[in-house]
Amino acid sequence: MVKLTWFGHAAWLISFENKNVLIDPFLKENPKSPIKPDELGKIDFIIVTHSHSDHLGDAYEIVKKRGSKLISLFENIQDAEKEGLPEEKLIGMNIGSQVDFEGIKIGFVQAVHSANCTGTVVTGDGVTIYHAGDTGLFGDMKLIGEVYKPKVALLPIGGFFTMGPKEAAMAARMIKPEIAIPMHYGTWPPIDSNPKEFQELLKNEIKVPLLKPGESFIV
């Protein structure tokens, strides 16, 4: 059993049997987040898809206070080193392949955005989850689906800075997950898109649960 909990925007907690992975921990300044960093339980790994403040969020604070390991692109980890984070808690990677960290496989994949952007593919307990980060639609999403075969795709639908519902639905068709969950919408007016549009576009094709911030989905 793998539990995915959405904290609004692109912040997700993935709870595996023995490990907890937090992705893009924008919590303290996130108007939609029902939780703040001090309220988190044990976090083994933090993944940051890119360095924009609404994705880097509270990563540094959580590493310092909870001893979590921070995994991101090499350049982002260099920035973390400059902030005085302990070297043994920092893991700099790049786009290429998944790496096994204590039974959880984590890898970075392409995203079309700015600020050293990536998506991430996380596998544990027999379940693979693709978190697209901030991205526009691009053709190699089909390759992500073919190579990693994610059961769940977490896709931005807010538009303006990322895909909107139409583009995200096309992305889901290329990736072919069993489940596609929309994210990165409704945080502020520019990205106040309608998740039901995304759901409607994929009806009879892919299961699309619509979560409220703080709600979980069990895989």
Note the pLDDT tens digit of each residue in 147-193: 999 999 999 999 999 999 999 999 999 999 999 999 999 999 999 99
Q: What is the mean pLDDT of residues 71-88?
A: 96
Q: Residues in the chain, how many?
A: 219
Q: DSSP 3-state assignment of 199?
A: helix
The model's pTM:
0.98
Answer whether residue 64 shows pLDDT above 90. yes
* Tokens 């309608």 sit on residue: 194
Report how far apart, in Å, the C-alpha atoms of 33 and of each of 9, 23, 103 are: 8, 13, 29
**Whole-angstrom distance, CA of residue 136 vs CA of residue 3:** 27
Q: Alpha helix locations (H) across the chain? A: 53-56, 59-66, 74-82, 141-148, 165-175, 195-201
Whether the per-residue pLDDT at 211 is higher than 90: the answer is yes
How crowded is residue 126: how many other Cβ atoms within 10 Å of its Cβ?
Answer: 9
Q: Where are the domains of the chain?
A: 3-211
Residue 54: its pLDDT value, please?
98
- The SS3 of residue 176 is coil
Topology (CATH level 3) of domain 3-211: Metallo-beta-lactamase; Chain A (3.60.15)
